[in-house]
Chain A
């Protein structure tokens, strides 16, 4: 089992749609969680951190369920510019520096 698993997609949605991505992680001791965005042939960039109580940043909402060991990202009112790959990222408790990246979920937003 991979340490961080994501549905690879692709998700094809129309502009204005709401789309949700889920991610599961295997290490129950993991402490830090993030969503990164990666555009085609570009470097990953932090989209948002994920906090235990859930957090929102504009159209984006991230949630963490420690009991079930999954993280979610909800995008409301999708824009064409949201088309990208979304990476689920987990920092295990051990060591602290061995951040683990999921393989990513591809999103295409269509006009």
Chain B
């Protein structure tokens, strides 16, 4: 039961470097999400994709881009990493109804020096 798979688990970047976080789900879910979690802040939505072919900004989209490659995959790209982007990133997927639960990947611990 893979569920939601995220890679990498850990990453250290220097300021200005770029990287892509990968996420894939095997539950045939329509919606996919990227969150970041910082101490005392809770999870904050970066971008989401309600269905294949669509993406929308969440609460904190600046500095990030996303691609919904197909129904299974949703990637998050940092074009020029900044120390403020040091965080734990979680990918999640869910159904089409607004009251459906979210399934999360195991997270990526990203440090930007």
Interface residues of A (CB under 8 A from B): 4, 8, 31-32, 34, 41-46, 49, 87, 91, 96-104
Contacts and interface: CB of A to CB of B under 8 A. Distances in A.
B90 interface: yes
B99 A32 contact: yes
The 7 closest A-B pairs by CB, nearest first: A43-B104, A96-B98, A103-B42, A32-B99, A101-B43, A46-B101, A101-B42
B79 interface: no
Given A87-B42, A103-B40, A98 B59 contact: yes
B111 interface: no
B31 to A, nearest CB: 6
Q: Which of B33, B90, B98 has most A Cβ within 10 Å?
A: B98
Interface in B54-105: 56, 58-59, 90, 98-99, 101-102, 104-105
Q: Which of B33, B35, B90, B102 has most A Cβ within 10 Å?
A: B102
Interface string B18-56: 000000000000010101000011111100101000001
Given A32-B98, A44-B90, A103 B45 contact: no
A34 B42 CA distance: 14
A42 B84 CA distance: 22
A41 B88 CA distance: 9
B7 interface: no
B58 A98 contact: yes
Contacts of B102: 44, 46, 99
